[in-house]
């Protein structure tokens, strides 16, 4: 048997806060095969299009939970899959 990798999409809400600024939020359609690095590139375009032409600062994605726990996602992780696995730990 040969199984093909199934790709699916979902909408995720992202929050961005630059130093000294209010929190901005955007909902973005993300694919199950997109890596953290690819999602960050999309988010730069959505939140800070003026930054595209400049040297890209060190942006990162974090999962932050209600209880205050947080974790930085690795560059090759798949953010949509990470979020879909939150149910295992009963997280939001």
C-alpha 33 chain-centroid distance: 12
pLDDT (0 to 100) of residue 62: 92
Q: Which two tokens stand for residue 60?
A: 């990162």
pLDDT (0 to 100) of residue 82: 92
pLDDT (0 to 100) of residue 46: 86
- Residue whose C-alpha is closest to residue 13's, from 24, 31, 25: 25
Q: What Cα–Cα distance (Å) separates residue 86 from each residue in 11, 14, 73, 83, 90? A: 15, 16, 14, 5, 6
| Mean pLDDT for back-to-back runs of 10 residues, the chain (92 residues) | 73 86 91 94 82 66 86 94 78 54
Cα 71 to Cα 30: distance, rounded to the nearest angstrom? 19
């Amino acid at each position: 048997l040969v199984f093909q990798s199934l790709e699916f999409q979902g909408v995720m809400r992202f929050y961005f806060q630059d130093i000294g600024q209010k929190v901005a939020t955007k909902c973005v359609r993300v694919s199950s095969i997109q890596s953290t690095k690819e999602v960050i590139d999309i988010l730069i375009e959505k939140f800070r299009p003026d930054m595209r032409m400049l040297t890209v600062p060190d942006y990162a994605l974090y999962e932050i939970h209600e209880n205050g726990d947080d974790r930085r996602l690795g560059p090759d992780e798949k953010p949509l899959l990470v979020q879909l696995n939150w149910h295992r730990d009963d997280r939001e």
